[in-house]
Amino acid sequence: MSYRYQIVTVFGGSGFIGRHLIRRLAKSGAIVRVVTRHPNQANFLKTAGSVGQIVPMAADVTKDESVARAIQGSDTVINLIGALYETGPWSFQTVHVDAPARIARIAKANGVRKLVHVSALGADSASASAYARSKAAGEQAVLKEFPDATILRPSIVFGPEDRFFNKFASMAQISPVLPLIGGGKTKFQPVYVGDLADAIGAAVYLDETKGKTYELGGPRTYSFRELMELMLGEIHRKRLLAPVPWGVSEKLGAFFEKIPFFAPLLTRDQVELLKKDNVVAPGKPGFKELGINELAACEVMLETYLARFIVGGRTSTLTRDVGKFHKYPSAH
């Protein structure tokens, strides 16, 4: 697909999903504005395109004029802004509801042809989790301002810079025990970041995606425990997987939230989120309806980026038996 000379503005484009998407958009010939609070930290993306093709841009998403400057002249706007926990003035309401609503309103006023809003699987106005409720409110706010917007709800996203497998693999470097929050039974349908970038590209390109919501899950469903076993197998480590009951998990969340200056390892809201399975609802439009049929499974992709956690590297014989012992059965 080609977006030659189209201007595509990506809010939150320097984050984990954004950087993969920007590379794809650049290959398709688009001129890409990467909107961020710290444009100097997005400079590394410039090399993904030709000179002047990728333009990091500062914007304050709480201010109309700043958002309007970023959007002016754009054919397409993609919103990837999101946060897993609240910090200082950045409440879920500000980041997941007010900012997307402002982007949608200003995009509409500027004649933007396509708006793609990336939400999250589990977005639910009745959820016990403030994150999930704010994601649902954000979707509604976007559709109110821009009824033709396309909404994408991915399950947990994995890839080289993910904050799921990398976080637990780092933890396994120093800890003999890994916690299984709520017993580790919660189900996930992990999506490879490259497949999600393709889905966002298709949502931009296909006219029939206007006004629709897509639920995006990967090719397999795993429990939290199975994901930990798979990760340990990939990094050739044997660790005790300790089920932590919900009540204790909530107390752990409350403890980690209080540690200042560091990103919390767990919050009470994340514990609430983990109480519900994160899988695609049957019958909902998804990858297939976006024309994407081949999806990357964890078993194939994890070894491409978790090898750095193997003692002695990928070819090491040092811990290989441990890896075999732990490898998730469906990987064979």
Ligand X SMILES: NC(=O)c1ccc[n+]([C@@H]2O[C@H](COP(=O)([O-])OP(=O)(O)OC[C@H]3O[C@@H](n4cnc5c(N)ncnc54)[C@H](OP(=O)(O)O)[C@@H]3O)[C@@H](O)[C@H]2O)c1
**What residues make contact with ligand X under the rule CB under 6 A?**
12, 14-18, 36-38, 61, 80-83, 90, 95, 118, 120, 154, 156-157
**3-state secondary structure (DSSP) of residue 293:** coil
Nearer to ligand X, 18 or 323 (CB): 18
- Residue 62: CB minimum distance to ligand X, A: 8
Nearer to ligand X, 192 or 328 (CB): 192
- Residue 61: CB minimum distance to ligand X, A: 5
Alpha-carbon gap, residue 80 to 120, rounded angstroms: 10
- List the one residue out of 290, 240, 249 whose CA is nearest residue 270: 249
- Residue 157: CB minimum distance to ligand X, A: 4
Nearer to ligand X, 156 or 322 (CB): 156
DSSP string, 239-281: -EEEEE-HHHHHHHHHHHHHSSSS--S--HHHHHHHTS-B-PP
Nearer to ligand X, 152 or 310 (CB): 152
Nearer to ligand X, 60 or 321 (CB): 60
- Residue 89: CB minimum distance to ligand X, A: 8
Nearer to ligand X, 16 or 205 (CB): 16
Sign of the torsion angle spanned by Cα atoms 307, 308, 312, 313 = positive
Residue 238 DSSP label: -
Report the interhelical angle of 298-306 vs 165-174 (nearest 10°).
50
Residue 301 DSSP label: H
Helices (H), 148-238: 165-174, 193-205, 224-234
- Residue 132: CB minimum distance to ligand X, A: 11
- Residue 154: CB minimum distance to ligand X, A: 4
